[in-house]
Amino acid sequence: MVCTLYHTDEAQIKGIIPGENGLSISYKELLAAKELLDIPDKASLKEIKTLYYQQIRKWHPDRCPEDERTCREMSGKINAAYEIISEYCSNYLYSFSDEVIREYMSDEDWWFERFGSDPVWRQKK
């Protein structure tokens, strides 16, 4: 499932952030976390996790060429950003409308929906 992070203003995410569903994330915090982890506007949970691992690997104090204090600060920021994004995505209101599902259907599903599963070459009895 894709977690969409492309809301253009805070009014569009009312009901998700802040306060409702137990969340206390501000719109600015969400955007800062998205930028820190370099997440595109639309990303799957797997892609978000991969981007997090890339950033944390880059800034981990044992691997980072910068001074240890800077690396620890960045690691902390990256962990906090991932926590914000994870909390947002776990409480995201997913849409299961027909048009959204069709947008993400596989090529095979698209083909079978339009032409059916009966091959053209099969002899009809």
> Residue 8: its pLDDT value, please?
42
Contacts 24+ apart (CB under 8 A), 26-29: 29/84
First to last CA, the chain: 42
Q: Tokens 């690997």 belong to which residue? A: 57
pTM of this prediction? 0.64
Helix (H) or strand (E) holding 43: strand 42-44
pLDDT in tens, 60-95: 988 888 899 999 999 999 999 999 999 988 887 777
φ/ψ of residue 44, rounded to 5: -80, 165
Mind listing the pLDDT tens digit for each residue in 10-34?
444 444 444 444 557 888 999 999 9
